[in-house]
Amino acid sequence: MAIVDLDRDAVKNGLADGSVLLIDVREPNEFASGHIPGSVSFPLSDFDIERLQALIAADGRRPVLSCAAGVRSARALQYLQSQGIPLTEHYAGGFKDWANAGETVE
């Protein structure tokens, strides 16, 4: 299964129209120091596949993983795919791309 790299515009549009559930896999201290509005914290250090699947099922939007720069989110997708979870999309630029572009940060 392939990993799909989304750019800032795709993520921004998905958040704006309510179609994307942006799952931030950075650590809690990173998330607390700044995150993309509307994203939810789901740190890799406490990664629970069943809890992730429950979050996605309860939310109903298209899940997209995000991290600081796209490395951890891609790694998380590879792991999930190896466990039979068919998630494919992540924000390739991550929080750094978002913040450096001057987008709103919470």
Residue 93: Cβ within 10 Å count: 20
**Is 67 among the catalytic positions?**
yes
Q: d(Cα 78, Cα 39) in Å, to the nearest integer?
A: 21
Strand partners, 62: 20
**CB-based contacts of 50, cutoff 8 Å, min separation 6:** none
Task: List the catalytic residue out of 6, 67, 68, 80.
Answer: 67
**Chain-centre distance for alpha carbon 106:** 15
List active site positions.
67
